[in-house]
Amino acid sequence: MIDGPCFSACTLVLTVVPHSRICVTRRAVLGFHAALEVDRSGRVYPASDETRRITATYPASVQAWIERHGGLSQRMLLLRGRELKALYPSCS
C-alpha cells in the first residue's frame, strides 16, 4: 500500500514488489528525479548512466509516463491522482 508521499529512492518499490501486490490510496504521490553524483567537494552532477539504468527497472507503464512528462531530470516529476490510479489499483 502506498499511502502518502513516496519520493526518490522510495519509488524503487515499483521495481521490487510485483504490480499485483501494489495499491495506492488517494493520498499517494510518487516523486521521480534523475540520479545525481556528488564529488568530494560537494558539487552535484547528473549521473546519466545511473539514471538510464534505474529508469529501465521501472515497469513499462511507469517508464512511458516518465517519458511523456519529459524524462528524468533534477526537477521532481510527481505521479498522483488519476494518472497514478490509471497505472495502479486503488486500495480497498
Longest alpha-carbon distance in the chain: 48
Q: How far apart are CA 90 and CA 28, in angstroms?
A: 10
Question: Whole-prediction pTM value?
Answer: 0.90
In this prediction, residues 48-77 reach a mean pLDDT of 96
Contact 6, 67 (CB under 8 A): no
Residues 6+ apart with CB under 8 A from 8: 31, 33
Instruction: Report pLDDT digits (tens) over 6-27.
Output: 999 999 999 999 999 999 999 9
Instruction: Report pLDDT digits (tens) over 68-85.
Output: 999 999 999 999 999 999
pLDDT value for 71: 96
The pLDDT confidence band at residue 54, using thresholds 50, 70 and 90, is very high
